[in-house]
Amino acid sequence: MSRDALAWCLVAMTAIAVAAIVALVVRNRALGRRKQQAEEALKAELATAQGHLTSVQAELARYKHQFDTTIRQAEEAAEDSTKAVLKGSARFLQSLAAEQMTVLEGIQGKYGNHPVLAELLEVTHANAQMQRKAQGIAVLCGAPAGRRNRPGSVYDVVRNAQSQIRNFRRVEIMQQTGFALKASAVSPVALAVAELLDNAASFSQQDAPIEVTFQRIQKNLCIVIDDAGVGMNDEERQRATALLSGDFVPRLSQLGNQPKFGFPLIGLLARQYGFRVDVTGISRYGGVRAVVLLPEELWTEEQPAPVQEAPAPVSIVRDEQSAPSRPRTVHGLPKRVSRATAPDDQRQPSRTAQDTGRVSGRSRGALGALQRGTISGRTFDSAATEGPQDA
């Protein structure tokens, strides 16, 4: 009896367990279906949301592109307007500087022996600096650098650049050179060298030397400028290299409240005219070594000056009709006359007139020398041995 009850209990428990298992299985299946349905619904909603997000992102990108285009066009228009204004102003300053130079030359020719010319030389030097700054701004704003009709000596080009900086006395050109720049390269190279010399003078002590040498390396001609300044760190060298390469041209608004036109101007000139400038070297004084590398397309060897023929000897026999009349003796020989009673056309020029002409010539030579930045041109005693002044 007890065994039958136990068996029935086991059967009942087994049935209950089977029923529970069946119920759990059915419930799990129902939960799985509901989960699957929920996941499918969530996936559908996610796909819908992703589609909306994609469309919103595309719309945002379109608006951003339009915004960036509008801002860029506005910046370019503002940059072009600013450059046009600056270029016009710089051209006006250049014309004023040219007029001042004409007036100074006129004053020099009229008052060649006057002591005031010593002060006029300082005015001429300041005028040359103003003209260089105006030319640099104009070129950076899109104006051409200018073009000569004939080649110019490399030595004279560097001296011309020297004359356009404030502390020109500190610059020493260590050697002569037998090379000349082609006409198209004279003005841009002179302007670039002037900016490098001005930069060297600005970032070094007032009594520190600035040396300029020339080197011919393979097919290139190098103008080397060594200063004794503070040098540059790695970040400054990288920025200078980028600016001097001409690949990166900053906007005028990126030049700062006190604009630094030097390196951007040099880089623009180098890219336009095909030369290179490097300032990553260290000079023997611990400062910066700037190298202007000119390819063979921009320079040539100087031609020797043509030998001038000697002037024909002047005949001492004068035509009787052209010779001035002088008193003669009864035998037809000319009488000796005193200097006081001699006619005006027979008197020798007075020492005052000779001195005036000599001083005038020296003054013109000094003014030309100052324009080239030579030390001898700072005094009236220098002879007028300067080269062409349009170098």
Full set of structural domains in the chain with CATH: 145-300 (3.30.565.10), 308-386 (no CATH)
Structure tokens given for 123 = 């005015």
Helix, strand, coil distribution of the chain in percent, nearest 5: 55, 10, 30
Amino acid at residue number 173: I
| Residue 68, C-beta contacts closer than 8 angstroms, at least 6 positions apart | none
Per-residue confidence of the chain (391 residues) as pLDDT tens digits?
A: 577 777 788 888 888 888 888 888 888 888 888 888 888 888 888 899 988 999 999 999 999 989 988 888 887 787 777 778 877 888 888 788 888 888 877 887 777 667 777 777 778 888 888 888 888 888 888 888 877 778 889 999 999 999 888 888 899 999 888 899 988 899 999 999 999 999 999 888 888 889 999 999 888 999 999 999 888 888 989 999 999 988 887 877 777 777 788 899 999 999 999 999 999 989 988 899 999 999 999 998 876 655 455 444 443 333 434 444 445 544 444 444 444 344 444 433 333 334 434 334 444 443 444 444 433 333 323 333 333 333 3
The residue among 149, 159, 238, 220 whose CA lies nearest residue 193 is 159
Strand 171-173 relative to strand 210-217, pairing: parallel
The residue among 386, 351, 352, 377 whose CA lies nearest residue 117 is 377
A 10 A CB-CB count for 273 gives 17
DSSP 260: -
The Cα 228–Cα 291 span in angstroms is 15
pLDDT reported for residue 305: 56
Structure tokens given for 294 = 């000119």
